[in-house]
Every structure is written in C-alpha cells, then in structure tokens.
Amino acid sequence: MAYPMQLGFQDATSPIMEELLHFHDHTLMIVFLISSLVLYIISLMLTTKLTHTSTMNAQEVETVWTILPAVILIMIALPSLRILYMMDEINNPSLTVKTMGHQWYWSYEYTDYEDLSFDSYMVPTSELKPGELRLLEVDNRVVLPMEMTVRMLVSSEDVLHSWAVPSLGLKTDAIPGRLNQTTLMSTRPGLFYGQCSEICGSNHSFMPIVLELVPLKYFEKWSASMS
C-alpha cells in the first residue's frame, strides 16, 4: 500500500503491474531525454550570439526533426499496445467473483459457489483495532487464492463507481446495467488495499477495497467456513 511522502507507484504484486511499471520507466526516460535536449538547445540559443546560417534553412535538419518524433512515438506505442492486449486477455480463470458497487459499499459474490456472498463496509474510525488503517479497513475482506487467475465481474446497482486496486494494476468502472470484467493474479500473499476511484456521491471516500491473497489451501478452508 502507499506510504506518506511516496513519489512513485506502489510495489507491483501482479505480472501486469510489473509490466506497467516497466512501461512507465521506459516512457519517463524518453520524456526525460527529450526535455533535456530541448532545455540544452534553448540554453544555447539564449547564451550564444553566433548564428550558423547553413542550419537555418537545411533540408537535412527538417527531415531529421520530422522522422525522429515519429520513431519516438512508435517506441512508445508498441509496448503500450502489447500491455493493453495483455490486460484484455482472459485465459481459463480458476475463480470468478462478481463485484457490485452500491452507495456506499461493495458486495461480492463467488459465482463458483452456491451460497457465498457478502457485503463489505468500511470499518468506522471508532471501531478500529490497533494496527488497522483508517478509511481503508473493511468488515469483510475479499479472500482470494494467490498464483491463480481470478476473473472479476464488476457492475453497479445505482451510480457510477470504479473498482481499483493500485498494487495489482486494476481499475475497472462499475456501470449500472453493464457488466465489465478484469482479471487479477497475485504472485505473493498479503493484504492489498484500494478505493472507489469514481466520484459517486457524498460518501465516495468511504468505499475501501481490501483483498486478502492467500495460498490455495487456506482459501479452501475459508470458503468452507463461509459456506
């Protein structure tokens, strides 16, 4: 999860988020090089009185500064499209969970089980236990198996919401009358926090999401105790 004074992304927990972090660093380096070059040229123009007349109207220079931006855009677009298609792929999910947004809580239904569903409300500040996080803890966590592909079906029953967990690289809009889907897979166990990322009313800030990723055997014990 995020920590005070954090400047970068949260630590990646899924392969998709690792790819997104690599793409971010790749693009940021290109932006940094372009900015440095432009700043260098501006500083030269401001500090020198000499003018190179042969470069002010040169066909070769115009050709370079036309082709070079196109090459840079291709270098950004190709990795971006690759990740976009990776995020859309759904290959035989091991588990499906339906998420419904409400004003202002989430409800979850494990569709592979006959009767496994619950609502997830934020824990009020007055009821927090020592070590729990204000505005992020919920009364019912979403327990999922790690290292397995999980499909999340996301919708809403009232207004627009957005189901987002940054460390997993997930953000899916919850739209009334529409069923969106996304996949997640965690490479390590732990607690992963998120929040509603679409302004949905007065209590928009009080719709946290908590995923508890555990090994498969612990998930089976949990699902048996909840059924």
Give the pLDDT of residue 1.
73
Written as one string, the DSSP assignment of 34-74 is HHHHHHHHHHHHHH-----GGGTT-HHHHHHHHHHHHHHHH
Give the pLDDT of residue 157.
93
C-alpha span between 86 and 63 (Å, rounded): 35
Given a contact cutoff of 8 angstroms between Cβ atoms, the answer to whether 212 and 188 are in contact is no
Specify the 3-state DSSP secondary structure of 84: helix
Give the pLDDT of residue 46.
85
How many residues are present in the chain? 227
The strands making up 161-165's β-sheet, listed across from edge to edge, are 142-145, 208-214, 190-196, 161-165, 170-174
Q: Strand 142-145 to strand 180-184: parallel, antiparallel, or no bridges (unpaired)? A: unpaired
- Residues (pLDDT < 70) of the chain are 51-57
Give the pLDDT of residue 55.
62
Given a contact cutoff of 8 angstroms between Cβ atoms, the answer to whether 184 and 145 are in contact is no
Closest-CA residue to 189 (of 135, 141, 143): 143
Give 112's DSSP letter. Answer: T
Domains of the chain (ranges, CATH numbers) = 15-88 (1.10.287.90), 95-226 (2.60.40.420)
